[in-house]
């Protein structure tokens, strides 16, 4: 496995692979890898000749009061997991290597980035757009793999790729969960035992909504939001950042008091949430497709 720490080293490795006509699957991460990341690497391994992983905690997507300095890091463990998943190239740059000077360029994807996490974390997705664009130019991947736990990030990147005619296929991958339903996240390590137990209510609330929608596809967005919100408030001590229902991937609002079957016809919608447990902010979501009945996807 080739570990690259400079952009030049990465470019040379990519040039060699491209010269041999090989396809490249790319998994960009901020490290502290878990089974969710491993599932992305395995998907990339199955579909490409070369697998590239990047590990970079991107300061441009953290706000002034967010957890950049305390974001968990374990390079040795990350590299070992990457090797187990058959990764060929690992790119581990320093901040100085990625940003040798203050970047004066920004990539803002309007509308899609302005709701959900974009509303509560101003500038976050501008930072995501910038670093992912830089990585795409360095890696030149055939396909790039992203987990749907951050479905808004997937939507933002898909829009950026389409708008800028980037020559890469974005491959969204399912959320990977613990046996009790909690979505895997590098930030789960910060939860106390009580918070960890309460956090399972997030996925349970989404599952309860899925069951309710199967019984009554005419539920309104307001009713869906109320069901999830009430459940979280009643069963956890978490502080709700947002619970929203939006069309996906456009992330446009759906009329609050119109039945979903009438409002969305055969389109997808997302129910997304963010909840703080102490200083730890967790996100989760469920994607649904509206047909004769509503099915969770």
pLDDT digits (tens, 9 = 90+) for 124-161: 999 999 999 999 999 999 999 999 999 999 999 999 99
What is the arithmetic mean of pLDDT over 24-49? Answer: 97
Question: What's the mean pLDDT when you consider all of the chain?
Answer: 95
For 158-196, the DSSP string reads HHHHHHTT-S-EEEEEPPPB-TTSPBP-GGGGG--HHHH
Of 37, 137, 257, 289, which is the active-site residue?
Answer: 37
What is the arithmetic mean of pLDDT over 110-121? Answer: 94
pLDDT score for 295: 67
Q: Walk me through the domains of the chain, giving residue ranges and CATH numbers.
A: 2-173 (3.40.50.620), 186-289 (3.30.1300.10)
Categorize the per-residue pLDDT at 290 as very low, low, confident or very high, splitting at 50, 70 and 90.
Answer: confident
Concerning whether 37 is annotated as a catalytic residue, the answer is yes
Q: Is 53 labelled as part of a ligand binding site?
A: no
Residue 110 region by backbone torsions, left for phi larger than 0, else alpha for psi between -120 and 50, else beta? beta
Q: Is 37 labelled as part of a ligand binding site?
A: yes
| Residue 242 near residue 272, CB atoms below 8 Å | yes
DSSP state of 228: H
Residue-wise pLDDT for 205-261, tens only, equals: 999 999 999 888 889 999 999 999 999 999 999 999 999 999 999 999 998 888 887
In whole angstroms, give the CA distance from residue 220 to residue 205: 16
pLDDT score for 194: 97
Tokens of 261: 């079957």
In whole angstroms, give the CA distance from residue 28 to residue 184: 16
pLDDT score for 233: 98
DSSP state of 62: -
| Residue 80 C-alpha from the chain's centroid | 23
pLDDT score for 218: 85
Q: Is 96 labelled as part of a ligand binding site?
A: no
Categorize the per-residue pLDDT at 63 as very low, low, confident or very high, splitting at 50, 70 and 90.
Answer: confident
Q: Is 98 labelled as part of a ligand binding site?
A: no
**pLDDT at residue 292 above 70?**
no
| Residue 25 near residue 44, CB atoms below 8 Å | yes
């Amino acid at each position: 496995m080739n570990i690259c720490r400079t952009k030049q080293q990465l470019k040379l490795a990519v040039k060699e692979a491209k010269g041999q006509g090989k396809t490249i699957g790319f998994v960009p991460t901020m490290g502290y890898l878990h089974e969710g990341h491993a599932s992305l690497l395995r998907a990339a391994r199955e579909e490409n000749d070369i697998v590239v992983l990047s590990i970079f905690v991107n300061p441009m997507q953290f706000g002034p009061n967010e957890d950049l300095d305390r974001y968990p890091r374990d390079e040795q463990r990350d590299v070992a997991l990457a090797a187990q998943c058959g990764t060929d190239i690992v790119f581990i740059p320093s901040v100085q290597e990625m940003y040798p000077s203050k970047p004066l360029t920004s990539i803002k994807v309007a509308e899609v980035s302005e709701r959900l996490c974009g509303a509560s974390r101003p500038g976050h997705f501008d930072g995501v757009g910038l670093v992912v664009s830089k990585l795409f130019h360095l890696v030149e991947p055939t396909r790039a793999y992203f987990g749907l736990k951050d479905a808004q990030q997937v939507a933002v990147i898909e829009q950026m790729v389409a708008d800028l005619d980037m020559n890469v296929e974005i491959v969204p991958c399912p959320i990977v969960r613990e046996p009790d339903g909690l979505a895997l996240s590098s930030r789960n390590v910060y939860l106390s035992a009580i918070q960890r137990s309460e956090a399972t209510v997030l996925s349970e609330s989404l599952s309860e909504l899925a069951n309710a929608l199967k019984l009554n596809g005419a539920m309104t967005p307001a009713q869906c939001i109320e069901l999830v919100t009430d459940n979280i408030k009643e069963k956890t001590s978490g502080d709700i950042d947002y619970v929203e229902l939006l069309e996906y991937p456009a992330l446009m609002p759906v009329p609050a008091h119109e039945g979903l079957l009438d409002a969305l016809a055969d389109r997808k919608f997302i129910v997304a949430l963010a909840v703080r447990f102490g200083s730890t902010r967790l996100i989760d979501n469920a994607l649904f497709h509206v047909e004769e009945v509503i099915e969770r996807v």
